[in-house]
Amino acid sequence: MTEPKTVAHPGVWFPPPFIYVAGFVAGWLLERWRPLPITAGTSTAREVGGLAALVVWLAFFVAALLSFRRARTTLIPNKPASAFVTSGPYGITRNPMYVSLVALYLGLMLLMNSWWPAIFLPFVVLIVDRFVIAREERYLASAFGAEYDEYRRQVRRWL
């Protein structure tokens, strides 16, 4: 964990989870209009898979949140970071919060029993990758320089 240079924030002006919500709501609305179930009726495997994805979401999210709290830095992307976090789930992926949101999305999709949200998920991930993560990474490279470059070489963006 290192203190940043004086720089602006990443320039993300909206909560990134809203992108996931928008994709999921679009899938849910299509499901109401024209159902596209994953399985007919109930399926224990689908439900267990959905619950397992929710456990993955919770584990990644809580671990990332605790890492940020320990470092005393912000989760809010339109505020400057007071520290650069590389511990906990940040040693596995540079974006554990966004990975956790994908797990949440998939878990809810499985529990809802609809393929429609799955159709929107690649677009959600692409938007987050290009318009949120890219900005955050430019900011971190500017704020933390060589230390962030080394971290980026060692830890994958997603998984």
Indicate whether 69 belongs to any domain: yes
CB 16 within 8 A of CB 132: yes
Q: pLDDT digit of tens for each residue in the chain (159 aa)?
A: 555 444 566 666 678 999 999 999 999 999 999 999 998 877 899 999 999 999 999 999 999 999 999 988 877 777 777 888 999 999 999 999 999 999 999 999 999 999 999 999 999 999 999 998 988 898 888 888 999 999 999 999 988
Indicate whether 10 belongs to any domain: no
CB 28 within 8 A of CB 114: yes
pTM here is 0.90
Q: By residue range, what is the domain housing residue 138?
A: 17-154
The Cα 60–Cα 73 span in angstroms is: 17
Instruction: Give the number of domains in the chain.
Output: 1
